[in-house]
Amino acid sequence: MQVSLKRAIYEENDRLAAAINAGLRRRGIYTVNILGSPGAGKTSLVSRLAERLSRPLSVIEGDVASDIDTRTLRALGVDAWQIETGGDCHLNAPMIEAMLGKMKVEDAAWLFIENIGNLICPAEFVIGEDLKIVVSSAAEGHDKPWKYPIIFARSAACILTKLDIAEAIGFDEAAFRKGLETVAPGLPVFPLNGKTGEGADHIASWLIAARKAAAGT
Amino acid sequence: MQVSLKRAIYEENDRLAAAINAGLRRRGIYTVNILGSPGAGKTSLVSRLAERLSRPLSVIEGDVASDIDTRTLRALGVDAWQIETGGDCHLNAPMIEAMLGKMKVEDAAWLFIENIGNLICPAEFVIGEDLKIVVSSAAEGHDKPWKYPIIFARSAACILTKLDIAEAIGFDEAAFRKGLETVAPGLPVFPLNGKTGEGADHIASWLIAARKAAAGT
C-alpha cells in the first residue's frame, strides 16, 4: 500500500516535471536544480554565477522556513522568488509549476532552483530541471559520497566549497574524490570559494557548455 | 488520502515508539536521539561522551549508506550497531525495534541513536528516545535556526561544533543564539570541539542530570 502510493506520487511528479521542462525548453530557458546540505554554499554559488552569466537569470529559493536567501539574492539585484515548504523536505514539480505561474522568467534565461538543504530527499525528485548539481562543503567531511551516494550519482557536477578550511577541519580531498569516483564515476568536481568567487568562472563556463550541448540535441 | 495515510503512519510509529521507550525505561536504559546535518559532528559527540560516561553504553548508527561511523566507533571500543536505510531519510520506530532485537543493550545503560544526517525528516519521528539533541556546526552558518526551526524546537539541547573555524567561515554566534531564542526559547547550547573533546564534560554532566531528573518523575 505504502509502496504503491509512493510509486504513484513519483510517477505523477515525474510526468509534471517532464511537462514543465518541455515548456521551459520551448522558451529557451535552461534550468538547473541545485542540491546540497544546509550551509553547503548553494546561495553563494547562485550569487557568484549571477555575477558571471550574461543572459537574464531567475532563481527559485526553496526553504523549509524563512526567506533569508531570497532577500540576500534580491539585495544583490537577482530576480529571486521564495518557496517556503513549511516542513516538506524537498521541492516537487507541483511547487515549481505553481511558482512559475507567479514569477516572470524571461525567455532564453537561466533558471536556478535552489532546493531544500538536504542530501537525501531532493535527489529523489525531478522538478523540471535540465540538470542537477550538488554543492558539498569541505566542512561536511570527505566521507559524504560514501554516505549519500544517490545525490552524487544523479548530479551532473559537484561543486566543492570551503576548501580554505580543509586543513583546519581535517578534510582529505583525495579521499573525497576517491569516494566520488566510486559512487559517481567521471563526475566533474569544481572547487569554489564562495567568499571570493574563485572558481566560479570555471563553473559558469561549464554551465554554458552544458547548455549549448543540450540545445544541440 | 495522502494526508490521512501520513497521519496513520505517524500514529503507528508513535505508538510503537512509546512502547519501545517504556520497555527501555523498565530496564533502566536512557535513550538519546542525536540529530544534525551531514558532517555536523554527531559521531564525534558520541565518541567524546563514550569516553566520559561511566555506565555501559550502546550506539545505533543510522545512515542512508555505509557503516563508516559504526566502524569508527567500534575501533574506539564502543558497542555500535549500524542501520543502513538504503534511501530512507530518517530512522523510525520499527527500525529501532528490529535493531534492539539483534543487539544486546545492557540494563541501566546509555543508548545513543545517531539519526540520519538531515535537519528535516528526523525531527518528525519519535523512535523510543527520552530526549532529542541537535548537533549544529558553525560551518553550516548562523541562520540555521530560522531555516530549520522544528528540529531546534523539538530538541532538549543544542551542541554547537566547529567553533574553531567560526571566524574563517564568518559564523556569528550571537546571531545563531538570537535565532535559537526565537524558535526554541531557553534551549541550552553547549559548544563542543570534537577534535579535542573540549566542552564534552559539560554535555556529559547535563545528560547525567537529565537522566536523574527523568528517573525521579
Q: Say what angle helices A93-102 and A2-26 make with each other, to 10 degrees.
A: 30
CA angle B88, B89, B94 (to 5 degrees): 60
Q: How many folded domains does chain A comprise?
A: 1
Q: Which of A100-104, A193-197, A212-216, B12-16 has the lowest mean pLDDT?
A: A212-216
The verdict on a CB contact (< 8 Å) between A120 and B89 is: yes
- Distance between start and end Cα atoms, chain B: 40
- Chain A: closest CA distance from residue B204 (Å): 24
* Inter-residue contact A62 to A83 (CB < 8 Å): yes
Write down the pLDDT at residue A3.
67
Partners of A64 on chain B (C-beta within 8 Å) are 119-120, 147-150
Residues of chain B under the 50 pLDDT cut: 1
Summarize pLDDT for A187-197 with one digit per residue, the tens: 999 999 999 99
Query: Residue B100 is part of which domain span?
Result: 2-216
CB B136 within 8 A of CB B39: no
Residue among B129, B106, B123 at smallest CA distance from B56: B106
The complex's ipTM works out to 0.92
Choose among B68, B116, B141: nearest Cβ to A120.
Answer: B116
- Helices B93-102 and B2-26 sit at what angle, rounded to 10 degrees? 30
Residues 183-202 of A with CB under 8 A from B: 195
B51 touches chain A (CB under 8 A): no
Q: What is the CATH number of the domain that holds B90?
A: 3.40.50.300
Q: What is the mean pLDDT of residues A150-163?
A: 98
pLDDT at B2: 60
The answer to whether A129 and A98 are in contact (CB under 8 A) is: no
CB contact under 8 A, A63 and B169: no
pLDDT band at A90; cut points 50, 70, 90: very high
pLDDT for B5: 78
Among A68, A120, A147, the residue with its CB nearest the CB of B146 is A68
Neighboring chain A residues of B139 at a CB cutoff of 8 Å? 39, 137, 139-140, 162, 165, 169
Write down the pLDDT at residue B54.
96
* pLDDT score recorded for residue B67: 97
Taking an 8 Å cut-off on Cβ atoms, the answer to whether B147 and A63 are in contact is: yes
What does the pLDDT read at residue B118? 97
Would you call A37 and B169 a contact, using CB atoms and an 8 Å cutoff?
no
> Touching check for B66 and chain A: CB below 8 Å?
yes
Residues of B in contact with A116 (CB under 8 A): 120
Summarised one tens digit per residue, pLDDT across range A2-55 is: 667 778 889 999 999 999 999 999 999 999 999 999 999 999 999 999 999 999
Q: CB of B98 within 8 Å of any CB in chain A?
A: no
* Residue A38 touches chain B, beta carbons under 8 Å: yes
pLDDT score of B3: 67
> What Cα–Cα distance (Å) separates residue B134 from each residue in A19, A174, B78, B209?
40, 30, 21, 18
- DSSP alpha helices (H): ranges in B129-172? 144-147, 149-153, 166-169
Residue B162 in contact with partner chain A when CB distance is under 8 A: yes
Q: Is A2 on the interface with B (CB under 8 A)?
A: yes
Identify the pLDDT of residue A164. 96
Task: Give residue B24's pLDDT.
Answer: 98
Grid-cell match 574506539, residue found: B76
Hey, which bits of chain B come out as E strands? 30-36, 57-63, 79-84, 110-114, 131-137, 157-161, 189-192
A175 contact partners, CB below 8 Å, separation of at least 6? A142, A143
Contact A89 B89 (CB under 8 A): yes
Q: Which of B120, B141, B150 is nearest residue A39 as measured by Cβ atoms?
A: B141
State whether B168 and A164 contact (CB < 8 Å): yes
A170–B137 C-beta distance less than 8 A = no
**pTM for the whole thing?**
0.95
For residue A217, what pLDDT is reported? Answer: 57
Which of B102, B109, B132 has the alpha carbon at shortest distance from B119? B132
Average pLDDT for residues A95-119, to the nearest whole number? 98
